[in-house]
Chain A
Amino acid sequence: MLHIPISRWGEPYKSMEADPVVHFATGETLAEVSRANAALVERDMRHAWRARAVLREIPIRELLQMVKKAGQLYTEAELPLGDGSQTPEQFVRMQSATTGLPEHMCRFNMTKNKFVLENMDKILDSLTRGLDLDFLTRGYGVESRGVPVSYQAQSPVLGLVLPSNSPGVHTLWLPIIPMQIGLVLKPGPQEPWTPYRMANAFIQAGVPRQAIAIYPGQGDIGAAVLNSCPKSLIFGGQATVEQYKGNPRVQAHGPGFSKIILGDDEVDNWEAYLDMMVDSIFVNSGRGCINCSGIWVSRHGRKIAEAIAERIGPVEPLPPDDPKSALAAFTVAGQAEGVWAAIETDLKEPGVHHCTERFGPRLVKRERCAYLRPVIVYCEGPDKAIAKKEYMFPFATVVECPQEQMLAKIGPTLVCSAVTRHPKFQRELADATHIDRLNIGPIPTIQLNWLQPHEGNIVDFLFRARAFQFDPKMVAI
């Protein structure tokens, strides 16, 4: 049995307790993962300063080369894993087996991570707005225009409480090491694979092992990470987001409620945007926060909903190793049933129409997992309860709403793709503070430009711009 130990700043530590990681379809135990205790995490944070110190000994340009190399190792090499090793194909199979994602989607996520690692220099250049990266190491510098600037790290490490259900989120923490900030990772119970594989790829590429700690465990470990790291990212549901709202130590990532808006000037051409709408809902099995869960239009709502339903309603679950498999399994017992029960309740509301019903039952139960086939719902008005919902499978509502009311009604929106040429509406969209990523034009919500910030600039989260004055006779810059 493969055992994956806790990694205490690179030192393996086998706990007295371990949790099995189980294949969702066969029930086979693929590995056991050591379970950390909270006090161990908190005590280890004595060495958090060392994580940044060892990274600062390596120039950022060298770290950028290391992460590029790490991207290659991550996708191509057999890497150590616990008391064994893991090939890229084993990684794909294991990740699919425990998260329920089809294997080809796991492979795609690998290439996405590799792309980010390979282009890290451009990403950091963009996120820092062209800053000389040595300023991050030193904490200050003088720009070419002669202005002194200072960026002070707010934490020697970034804590991450990672999810089980969406391997795509790992791109968010990949830029941290090259910024000379250490990592404290709490993997999702069903997805230990990426944190361990990525950490091992970093280490094999030359990143000091003292820069990364990994603490698998239960809920108390997530709390310990948040408690002991001055800056953390956590992934969770809406309740998690609400809990940490306004907490400067924590950036909470939850549901995206991403949307597509067809403006009054373009909605009559809706058929031209059908592929874009389908992809936004359906790609990656609808599991990401950037997948579209609501299409807002002032007219043609029913026709649009029916057309999308026609395209994705018939899709059925296939084995995870089938290249055509498009639906991820729900691997947590009772979860799919709970989601479907909530949808059924919302479907009873007058003015709400289930457009995928005619393609057969949506809930498909298997021995150890369940699937939800795509659900498309047409809402006659914007105030229907289901118009505010998001689920982690291909689910979307098509909501009819007068354009002048849309921005007041759509609610928080991570990605908004607005198809309109109307300057006034474009200006209103640009001013809407409840929209995070704004796309103007027929850009799928799932199409990310990696050179742009996501849910807040991670550089701004970790570094504080502050005043800095110096006497050139005393400070050599």
Chain B
Amino acid sequence: MSLEQRVRQARERLDAHVREIVHWHFSPETGTPFWLEKAKELPFDPLKDINSFDDLRKFPFFEDEWLRGGPVRRWVPKAYAQRPIYVFETGGTTGIPKSRIVVDDFRIDYEQFSDTLPEKYFPKGSNWLMLGPSGPRRLRLAVEHLCQYRGGICFCIDLDPRWVVKLIKKGWMEHLRAYQDHCIDQAMTILSAGHEIRCMFTTPKLLDALCKRLESENSSIEKAGITGIFCGGTEMTSQWIRFMIEEYLGPNVYIAPTYGNTLMGLAAAEMPTAEQNYKITYYAPEPRAVVQVVDFDDYDKVVPYGQTGRVLLTTLTREFFVPRFAERDEGERELPSEKYPWDGVSGVRPWRGIAAQTTVGVY
């Protein structure tokens, strides 16, 4: 089948998925209280008028402020009312964080992501280190589930990113370094304890710090026994990943960059290579989530391939429906690939409208 046919087929699957998910969230039997209430304000009937992905343009842009504060049950679809519910939070350094309810999505998303990891570098049955944020975050449980799904046991550290953001805002840089050292100390302890850890999740800054610490102790990621790194959480540039591969990881360690957040699943990328100038191109896990790159001044308009725009996210799962959420990121629109026959996004970085305010510290 040609790429063109695969793209068309993926689009048909997406349209069908949109119909199913919208019906799920807006039907009185299974629907989500928030959306059932919202439907009363809408000038159209989602059950009749949404038949394709393009029809989602009829919805207003999703406002993440809707996720701040309770009652959180309004986000639980009626069909899941009796199921155990997790709540994952984003933000929250000051004020009320945004909350997202989850039943199984994090498991489904990370199991799908698991299929993208090469067995050679992420061997089944191997133990993992979760060197990332703890607390009320999806990542903590999701990485542990990913590890368990692959037959391993996951070791975790304590890391409170809200405290990190406070340290940066207060300008307490010595404390920031001390806290980062505290996190790396925990990781070093786990790595030195004979747990046969082969894989890890970490963020770019923590990977920088871990590599530097290992090198200062005449070790390295490879010498520590790690062969696969799943990296995400904050922006990764081509220069950073090139530096990491060339100078710290070497040819025997695989790094899998990812893009995602609590509202969506996990967009995966192939390992960047010198031949491709270390370009990192992410593909959302369609049809469960769709990433579009849209015009800065008109979010209804997708930019041409190779052009820059703001990232517009749509999440389409039975647990959570997020139509057209303008992410705080921008990037370049990328062509579909054989593996991912839908649009991708590269060069993801903080959206220019808020770039100066973005705080990225230890984590």
Instruction: State the main secondary structure of chain B at its contact with A.
Output: helix
| Minimum CB–CB distance for B284 against chain A, Å | 24
Residues in B whose Cβ lies below 8 Å from that of A268: none
Flag whether A37 is at the interface (Cβ < 8 A). Answer: yes
Q: With CB as the reference atom, state the residue of chain B lying closest to A228.
A: B212
| Minimum CB–CB distance for B359 against chain A, Å | 11
Residues in B whose Cβ lies below 8 Å from that of A227: 173, 177
Instruction: State the main secondary structure of chain A at its contact with B.
Output: helix
| Minimum CB–CB distance for A333 against chain B, Å | 13
Within 85-113 of A, Cβ neighbours of B (below 8 Å) are at: none
Q: With CB as the reference atom, state the residue of chain B lying closest to A224.
A: B208
Interface residues contributed by chain A, number (CB under 8 Å): 17
Residues in A whose Cβ lies below 8 Å from that of B95: none
- Taking A38-B208, A227-B177 as contacts, is the C-beta distance between A43 and B242 under 8 angstroms? no
Instruction: Please tell me which one of the listed residues B211, B215, B237 contacts residue A17 in the complex, with CB atoms under 8 A apart.
Output: B237
Residues in A whose Cβ lies below 8 Å from that of B305: none
Flag whether B337 is at the interface (Cβ < 8 A). Answer: no
Q: Check A16 against B238 for contact (C-beta < 8 Å).
A: yes
What total count of A-B pairs have CB within 8 Å? 39
Which range contains the number of B residues in contact with the other chain?
A: 10 to 19
Flag whether B219 is at the interface (Cβ < 8 A). Answer: no
Q: Check A16 against B177 for contact (C-beta < 8 Å).
A: no
Q: A15-56 toward B: CB 8 Å interface, digit per residue (1/0)?
A: 111000000000000000001111110110010000000000
Residues in B whose Cβ lies below 8 Å from that of A37: 237, 239-240, 243
Instruction: Please tell me which one of the listed residues B171, B242, B248 contacts residue A243 in the complex, with CB atoms under 8 A apart.
Output: B171
Residues in B whose Cβ lies below 8 Å from that of A223: 173
Q: Check A16 against B247 for contact (C-beta < 8 Å).
A: no
Q: A233-259 toward B: CB 8 Å interface, digit per residue (1/0)?
A: 000000000010001000000000000
Q: Check A39 against B244 for contact (C-beta < 8 Å).
A: yes
| Minimum CB–CB distance for B279 against chain A, Å | 9
Q: With CB as the reference atom, state the residue of chain B lying closest to A217.
A: B239
Instruction: Please tell me which one of the listed residues A15, A42, A46, A243 contacts residue B239 in the complex, with CB atoms under 8 A apart.
Output: A15
Q: B272-286 toward A: CB 8 Å interface, digit per residue (1/0)?
A: 000001100000000
Q: With CB as the reference atom, state the residue of chain B lying closest to A240.
A: B171
Within 226-247 of B, Cβ neighbours of A (below 8 Å) are at: 237-240, 242-244, 247
Residues in B whose Cβ lies below 8 Å from that of A40: 243, 247
Within 192-240 of A, Cβ neighbours of B (below 8 Å) are at: 223, 226-227
Q: Check B278 against A16 for contact (C-beta < 8 Å).
A: yes
Q: B164-180 toward A: CB 8 Å interface, digit per residue (1/0)?
A: 00000001011001000
Residues in A whose Cβ lies below 8 Å from that of B177: 227
Q: With CB as the reference atom, state the residue of chain B lying closest to A226.
A: B173
A227 to B209, CA, bound (A): 12
Residues in A whose Cβ lies below 8 Å from that of B243: 37, 39-40
Q: Check B215 against A43 for contact (C-beta < 8 Å).
A: yes
A46 to B244, CA, bound (A): 16
Instruction: Please tell me which one of the listed residues A17, A39, A46, A247 contacts residue B208 in the complex, with CB atoms under 8 A apart.
Output: A39
Instruction: Please tell me which one of the listed residues A35, A38, A39, A243 contacts residue B211 in the complex, with CB atoms under 8 A apart.
Output: A39
A247 to B177, CA, bound (A): 14
A247 to B239, CA, bound (A): 32
Q: Check A43 against B278 for contact (C-beta < 8 Å).
A: no
| Minimum CB–CB distance for A244 against chain B, Å | 9
Q: Check A42 against B212 for contact (C-beta < 8 Å).
A: yes
A243 to B175, CA, bound (A): 13
Within 282-323 of B, Cβ neighbours of A (below 8 Å) are at: none
Residues in B whose Cβ lies below 8 Å from that of A15: 239
Q: A262-306 toward B: CB 8 Å interface, digit per residue (1/0)?
A: 000000000000000000000000000000000000000000000
A36 to B242, CA, bound (A): 12
Q: Check A42 against B238 for contact (C-beta < 8 Å).
A: no
Residues in B whose Cβ lies below 8 Å from that of A35: 239
A223 to B205, CA, bound (A): 13
Q: With CB as the reference atom, state the residue of chain A lying closest to B168.
A: A223
| Minimum CB–CB distance for A383 against chain B, Å | 29
| Minimum CB–CB distance for B346 against chain A, Å | 12
- Taking A16-B277, A16-B278 as contacts, is the C-beta distance between A39 and B173 under 8 angstroms? no
Q: With CB as the reference atom, state the residue of chain B lying closest to A15.
A: B239
A247 to B238, CA, bound (A): 34
A128 to B239, CA, bound (A): 43
A16 to B277, CA, bound (A): 7
Q: Check A39 against B238 for contact (C-beta < 8 Å).
A: no
Q: With CB as the reference atom, state the residue of chain A lying closest to B272.
A: A16
Q: Check B237 against A16 for contact (C-beta < 8 Å).
A: yes
| Minimum CB–CB distance for A394 against chain B, Å | 29
A43 to B216, CA, bound (A): 10
A223 to B278, CA, bound (A): 25
A77 to B177, CA, bound (A): 43
A247 to B171, CA, bound (A): 12
A16 to B173, CA, bound (A): 28
A237 to B240, CA, bound (A): 29
A313 to B161, CA, bound (A): 52
A442 to B212, CA, bound (A): 55
Residues in B whose Cβ lies below 8 Å from that of A42: 208, 212
| Minimum CB–CB distance for B281 against chain A, Å | 14
Q: Check A16 against B239 for contact (C-beta < 8 Å).
A: yes
Residues in A whose Cβ lies below 8 Å from that of B208: 38-39, 42
Q: B140-176 toward A: CB 8 Å interface, digit per residue (1/0)?
A: 0000000000000000000000000000000101100
| Minimum CB–CB distance for A217 against chain B, Å | 10
| Minimum CB–CB distance for A214 against chain B, Å | 16
Residues in B whose Cβ lies below 8 Å from that of A16: 237-239, 242, 277-278
Residues in B whose Cβ lies below 8 Å from that of A39: 208, 211-212, 240, 243-244, 248
Residues in B whose Cβ lies below 8 Å from that of A38: 208
A227 to B278, CA, bound (A): 27
Residues in A whose Cβ lies below 8 Å from that of B244: 39
| Minimum CB–CB distance for B212 against chain A, Å | 6
| Minimum CB–CB distance for A222 against chain B, Å | 11
Q: With CB as the reference atom, state the residue of chain B lying closest to A46.
A: B215
| Minimum CB–CB distance for B192 against chain A, Å | 22
Q: Check A43 against B247 for contact (C-beta < 8 Å).
A: yes
Closest 3 CB pairs of A and B: A39-B208, A16-B239, A16-B238
- Show 21 A/B contacts (Cβ-Cβ < 8 Å), sorted by A: A16-B237, A16-B238, A16-B239, A17-B238, A17-B239, A35-B239, A37-B237, A37-B239, A37-B240, A37-B243, A38-B208, A39-B208, A39-B211, A39-B243, A39-B248, A43-B215, A43-B248, A46-B215, A223-B173, A227-B173, A247-B174
| 18 new A-B contacts at CB < 8 Å, known A17-B237, A37-B239 | A15-B239, A16-B238, A16-B242, A16-B278, A35-B239, A36-B239, A37-B237, A37-B243, A39-B211, A39-B243, A40-B247, A42-B208, A42-B212, A43-B212, A43-B248, A226-B173, A227-B173, A243-B171
Binding site for A on B (CB under 8 A): 171, 173-174, 177, 208, 211-212, 215, 237-240, 242-244, 247-248, 277-278
